[in-house]
Amino acid sequence: MAKTYKIAVLGGDGTGPEVVREGIKVLKAVAAVEGFKLDLADYDWGGERYLKTGEILPPNAIAEMKKHDAIFLGAIGHPDVKPGILEKGILLTLRFALDQYINLRPVKLFPGVETPLKNKGPADIDYVVVRENSGDAYTGSGGVMMKGTPHEVATQTAVYTRHQVDRCLKYAFDLTKKRKKKNTLALCGKTNVLTFLYDLWERAFHEMGQAKYPKIKREYYHVDATCMWMIKNPEWFDVIVTGNMFGDIITDLGAITQGGMGIAAGGNINPEGVSMFEPIGGSAPKYTGQNIINPLAAICAGQMMLETLGEEKAAARIEKAVMKVVAKDLKSLSAGKMGKSTSEVGDLVAKYSV
């Protein structure tokens, strides 16, 4: 019997639903040729629903998501809702409640795609950032006192437990081993200032590496230097592992070196549970409904989803098709400048995938 995957589809805000539609088009095309089925369930969570009903997520949201094999997410963020409400209330809530402790963000430049890095090409830009996704300054630890007075105090505490650090490092070491590329894992930290937090990371990194992964080369970079080398010598990197906040920041930098937000995908992964895949670019509200946004990041998120579900052949088909489209059909990866519409790009990838 054909395998069926239950996928929760959260189009979300802005251009989210448009790019997700193209992602699903491609997923359906490869499912048909590889012989598996998709059982898709739509959820209308996002800014529009919040503005209409006042509710950010229904009370059964997490239980509902746990019934699925994976979640396919468009984008969260609405121009009429104060920043933070939907991001924390939906995106971060799902990441945390489903314990998606890895945020996997590949930085890979495909042939034919323009990069702002001078004299660098696809052979130089091909690495993965493993961003820890459950701790750091994202936990909500902190608060404000004497708000609105000249003595106002605000704190937001970066928190890591050994358990969180270890499970993330294990994932990163395993991935480095599996990639068989440069066999090098780089820890990105800030041990010269965050002497508690990244001291924990650094000790755990070397302890685990020495004991369990002696063949994997370990490197350490401060986060500021990491930014510099991602521009100057991206070919040094194979897998970079880092905390949640640094991971957030360096992956936007990485994304622009691989052609921008039109192509950058990410996976919020719980290796033992329900994972969620998304284009990392956001809701791009000004392009909503114009059929000009680039759906490739969402399509690549779908590819990561299939890879994680174990449909590696189907995933490889999508990657090959995306590479063909960017090399051959698109003038640019930017919204409105592709020389093709959103749905035409989806059609082409679907066609090349089968």
Identified binder of ligand IPM from the candidate list 81, 91, 129, 284, rule CB under 6 A = 91
Instruction: Please give the C-alpha separations between residue 257 and each of 102, 116, 232, 265, 304, in angstroms, as whole numbers.
Output: 22, 6, 11, 13, 19
Q: Residue written as tokens 């251009």?
A: 15
Active-site amino acid positions = 138, 190, 224, 248, 252
- Residue 126 contact among Mn ion, ligand IPM, none, beta carbon within 5 to 8 Å by kind: none
Residue 201's CB: how many other CB atoms inside 10 A?
25
Stretch that binds ligand IPM, among 12-20, 87-95, 176-184, 295-303 (CB under 6 A): 87-95
Closer to Mn ion at the Cβ: 29 or 264?
Answer: 264
Closer to ligand IPM at the Cβ: 41 or 92?
Answer: 92
1 DSSP assignment: -
| By the rule CB under 6 A, 136 interacts with ligand IPM | no
Stretch that binds Mn ion, among 92-100, 123-131, 150-158, 247-255 (CB under 5 A): 247-255
Closer to Mn ion at the Cβ: 49 or 105?
Answer: 105
**Nearest residue to ligand IPM, by Cβ distance, number only:** 87
| By the rule CB under 6 A, 9 interacts with ligand IPM | no
Residue 328's CB: how many other CB atoms inside 10 A?
10
| By the rule CB under 6 A, 347 interacts with ligand IPM | no
Alpha carbons 16 and 19: distance in angstroms, whole number:
6
| By the rule CB under 5 A, 248 interacts with Mn ion | yes
Identified binder of ligand IPM from the candidate list 132, 136, 238, 248, rule CB under 6 A = 248
| By the rule CB under 6 A, 87 interacts with ligand IPM | yes
Helix (H, G, I), strand (E, B) or coil at 187: strand
Give least dist CB 87 to ligand IPM, A: 4
| By the rule CB under 6 A, 311 interacts with ligand IPM | no
Q: Residue written as tokens 């630890």?
A: 141
| Token code pair at residue 204 | 């755990």
Q: Which CB contacts under 8 angstroms, 24+ apart, belong to 56-65?
A: 56/85, 56/86, 56/89, 56/90, 56/93, 57/89, 57/90, 57/93, 61/93, 61/94, 62/93, 62/94, 62/97, 62/98, 64/8, 65/8, 65/94, 65/98, 65/274
Q: Which residues contribute to the site for Mn ion (CB under 5 A)? A: 248
